[in-house]
Amino acid sequence: MSPTVLITGMLLGVLQLAVGIAVGYWIAGSKKSASTTEDDRRRAQRLAGELRTLTADLSAEARRQGEQLERVDDRLQSESRALSISPEDNPLTALVSGVIREMLQANQQLQQRLMTAELEVESQAAEIAEHLHTAMTDPLTELPNRRAMDDHLSMRADAWRKHKTPYSVVMLDVDHFKQFNDTHGHAAGDEALKTIASALREALRQHDVVARYGGEEFALILPHTSLQTGQSAVHKAIQSVRATTVKVGGQSIPVTASAGLASIAAGERIESLMSRADQALYAAKQAGRNQAWLHDGAVTAPLSPPDSEPQAAVTPPELNADLKDACSALTDRLGSLLNPDSVGVGP
């Protein structure tokens, strides 16, 4: 057997062992631990991709080796015929040809094993992707779950530290949800959560994050958003919930929500930001629910009404130089006509 085939076979064995250990370890760990980080999941995906590439490269190399061996065998047979010697009657040719055929057979077996390994790696990669989705998604609403939200917050905090890119957080709670559940049943409650999740997703921008924080509570992460501009997003979110109804026994039951808004401040940690958003949410509930409050870093206060939000100033178009001179001359002329005493009178 050639050294190339032997080495490739050894690499295949190591590859299959690595696939089994790496993927098995990651999957087992993801089931036991709730603290798997986004970096861990990315490394698992990257590992699967690298293993796929390695398997494909080994398979291609095995094919190349097989083709080369076939060419050598063909040439050997051709040279024997050119010398008018039957390959069967030439001991050396028969010996070399036999060795080559054995190597070809080993190579074909290796290619088959590599194809099997490729399929196994693809299957493991699909399993990793499924576990990733499960680990980061709330099964009821199909929104990012709290773990995914924590990862998004970490990315926003990193962008704030490095580039001072602002972001805001909104805590939103469905009003009287326990009473809704008790009155209409848990199935209706689940339907309400799914409907509200869809409404929030539709109401916000594509790059905003809507996550299920737990129970009847949702968290919104608004990138590139200050406290002032965040108020518009919160108004849209609250209004989208107000416009939502849940079908229960042929009836359309309205639902409402309360929300608290906070924006990141200089030197602030994520825990403090979330605490301020929670305080604003609590204030909104205390004020009667079905509304939103904010925390500006010092106090909580209700959001400004949508109509009172400041509008961008409109700058009048610039006049060209000739028109500006003509207007100035006309203004002076009108002034002299209206105030004749201001014009000098000759003797």
Whole-number Cα distances in Å, 218 to 81, 182, 208, 278, 279:
81, 20, 13, 11, 15
C-beta neighbour count of 168 within 10 angstroms: 27
Beta-ladder partners of 295: 262, 300
**Is the torsion defined by CA of 113, 116, 121, 127 positive or negative?**
negative
Beta-ladder partners of 221: 169, 209
**Is the torsion defined by CA of 44, 45, 50, 52 positive or negative?**
positive
CB-CB contact of 148 with 136 (8 Å):
yes
**Is the torsion defined by CA of 161, 165, 166, 168 positive or negative?**
negative
What is the token pair recorded at 55?
């398997």
User: What distance in Å separates the CA atoms of residue 76 and residue 83, rounded to the nearest whole number?
Assistant: 11
The pairing of strands 300-302 and 251-254 is: unpaired
Helix (H), strand (E) at residue 265:
none
DSSP 3-state assignment of 28?
helix
Helix (H), strand (E) at residue 293:
strand 292-295
Query: What's the CA angle centered on 45, arms 41 and 48, to 5 degrees?
Result: 140
User: What distance in Å separates the CA atoms of residue 23 and residue 218, rounded to the nearest whole number?
Assistant: 33
User: What distance in Å separates the CA atoms of residue 342 and residue 322, rounded to the nearest whole number?
Assistant: 26
Instruction: For residue 166, report the phi and psi dihedrals to the nearest 5 degrees.
Output: -70, 155
- The amino acid at 234: V
Taking alpha carbons only, the member of 242, 211, 263, 254 closest to residue 306 is 242
Active site residues: 216
